[in-house]
Amino acid sequence: MNELKGPAGAASGPDGGAGRGGDPAGGGGGKPSPAGDGILSARGLSKTFVSGQEDILILDKVDLTVSPGASTAVLGASGSGKSTLLYILGGLERPTGGELMSGGRDVYALSDSQRARWRARSVGFVFQFHHLLSEFDALENVAMPLRLAGASRDEAAARAKPLLERVGLAKRLSHRPGLMSGGEQQRVALARALAMGPRILLADEPTGNLDGRNALMVNELIVELARAGGMAAVVVTHNAKLAAMLDRRLVLEGGTLKEG
pLDDT in tens, 207-258: 877 788 888 888 888 888 888 878 899 999 888 888 898 999 999 999 999 8
Question: What span, in angstroms and rounded, lies between the C-alpha atoms of 237 and 152?
Answer: 36
- In CATH, which superfamily holds the domain spanning 40-259? P-loop containing nucleotide triphosphate hydrolases (3.40.50.300)
- Specify the pTM: 0.80
Question: What span, in angstroms and rounded, lies between the C-alpha atoms of 233 and 138?
Answer: 23
Question: What span, in angstroms and rounded, lies between the C-alpha atoms of 13 and 10?
Answer: 8
Rg of the chain, C-alpha, whole Å: 18
Give residues with Cβ within 8 angstroms of 212, minimum separation 6. Answer: none
Higher pLDDT, 27 or 95: 95
Q: Which of 226, 24, 237, 25 is nearest to 124 (CA)?
A: 226
Determine what percent of the chain is predicted with pLDDT higher than 90. 50
Per-residue pLDDT tens over the stretch 166-211: 888 899 999 999 999 888 998 899 899 999 989 999 999 888 777 8
pLDDT at 22: 43
* Banded model confidence at residue 37, pLDDT cuts 50, 70, 90: low
Question: What span, in angstroms and rounded, lies between the C-alpha atoms of 37 and 148?
Answer: 31
Is beta strand 248-253 parallel, antiparallel or unpaired with respect to 71-75? parallel
Distances (CA, A) of 95 to 40, 48, 55, 232: 15, 8, 14, 21
Q: Are 139 and 161 in contact (CB under 8 A)?
A: yes
pLDDT at 208: 77
Q: Are 47 and 81 in contact (CB under 8 A)?
A: yes
Q: Are 150 and 194 in contact (CB under 8 A)?
A: no
Higher pLDDT, 225 or 115: 115
Give residues with Cβ within 8 angstroms of 257, minimum separation 6. Answer: 62, 63, 64, 74, 250, 251
At 25, the amino acid letter reads: A
Question: What span, in angstroms and rounded, lies between the C-alpha atoms of 87 and 74?
Answer: 13
CA angle 231, 96, 122 (to 5 degrees): 20
- List the domain boundaries for the chain: 40-259
pLDDT at 79: 81
